[in-house]
Chains A and B, each alone.
Chain A
């Protein structure tokens, strides 16, 4: 694959910047442009020590940062198929096949059961490495099954979102996953079971317009891009440049959609605290 094609692919994968921490001893922060010693990022959970920029992290790292050791992965037998025989510049079937060949063992969402500071939870984390964590039938089904599991166990359900949106390659079936997951969340709501939505960079399109916005609490990592329409689409439509901070977590909080912006290093403590409140327990001792 030639260099410029790769570049183009990255740009179309998601409208926001797609920063991953690159390999190497030193890396440059995408936000403040400072050089950071890579080893330092391990301690800060991939948060820039200079400016607080939150680098995107993988599912394993996310699970490790939130859960006690020893979780169980659920529903990992479910695999994406190509229901429409979808072919655009690339064939969807071919894309899926290549992902499997490249060693992608997990779909665009990973659902686990485990413990968060000792409390049983079902937690789903979206996986950016699988087609920009786009929401296809498998994502919807896994999230539904996750909700059912939380209902069975009467334990809290947490979804860590990041997504480019619906998976166009599955057409209207993809759109329907928004309704499917929301219906499952309605069941949890009726049963009085906590559902916490954690929004990370970027959470856009159909994911933002369904389960990501439906938490009993909507909690966002700092400066995450969150919105229905992507900023480029908006700029092209209204023919204006968007202001700094538009559609970032802090903007969403000021506009009433995000309940609290919480840094990655504080997230686990904050989740434990709110779950204790919802369970009617005393506040866990401060660290």
Chain B
């Protein structure tokens, strides 16, 4: 769970550069209605360029895209998919972890509980949100909110976006492992529909602690992995520079995970990735979430629990 900067080889920013330049050019034409023909032509060129560039994207570049600094974060999505949202704070035991946000939301008129890891955008926010790395009190807040939803029979949506659970002394003192473990157990028992969506980085146990669900969705350029490519490379290659190889080996992208049966649905992102078009990405997320809840709507509590159990019972690959 290393938080070292990514190596620069095959960096995503090189791919993005011509796209961003063309976009800037189009924006300058927008003020001049007389040049709309020219603008439309450039727009078509841009769409084609995005499609081509991102069709050949490597797993390592996808891993960078998943943690792109301009990618929409949990509250950006909540703002766009909810009619209304009221944040609720605290774990009723120790603190209010800003790396996890949760609260009462309404999507398409339907009340539900929404919980997700929250990253910060500028330096101050990054520190406040602890880079999206929750402490035990964050997971305990999440669990408490899930229990509240269960009491009132409201469905639960979680949005997953974390480099991992916070590796710190205080987090260990307060039982990081216990907090994550407890959520896995309790989420398996929730008598309401649970839909989880990996929107950015699905960082190991720290992600899974919000991710035991009836439907697991994943944004097209999100990742979900047992370890970061850098962490894996430094352990198994003894060289963090081998992160691109590790990214490919770990099969941490949405298409791979769909094939492996870990996730149910890939949510398409706007051309070039969610960071290019937050509204478009949110629209797609909302549609996929509503679809998932609609599929689960008729299941009673017992059926939900059994189906959820069977879903996880099938995970893994064993030979004989």
Contact = CB atoms under 8 A, between A and B. Distances in A.
Interface of A: 189, 192, 194, 213, 216-218, 253-260, 270, 273-274, 276-283, 286
25 contacts: A189-B151, A192-B151, A213-B92, A216-B152, A253-B89, A253-B90, A255-B94, A256-B91, A256-B92, A256-B95, A256-B141, A257-B90, A257-B92, A258-B89, A259-B90, A260-B86, A273-B84, A273-B86, A274-B104, A277-B111, A280-B152, A282-B106, A283-B83, A283-B106, A286-B84
Of the listed residues B88, B152, B154, the one surrounded by the most CB atoms of chain A closer than 10 A to its CB is: B152
A279 B95 CA distance: 28
B268 to A, nearest CB: 29
What is the interface residue range for chain B against chain A?
Answer: 20 to 34
Contacts of A254: 95-96
B86 A274 contact: yes
Contacts of B104: 273-274, 277
A164 B90 CA distance: 25
B93 interface: yes
B111 A280 contact: yes
B137 interface: yes
A256 B93 contact: yes
A249 B109 CA distance: 32
Contacts of B148: 216-217
A216 B91 CA distance: 12
B275 to A, nearest CB: 30
Interface string B64-98: 00000000000000000001101111111111100
A256 B96 contact: yes
Contacts of A256: 89-96, 137, 141
A189 B95 CA distance: 24
B262 to A, nearest CB: 32
Nearest to B91: A256
B189 interface: no
Given A254-B96, A256-B96, A274-B86, A280 B154 contact: yes
A254 B137 CA distance: 11
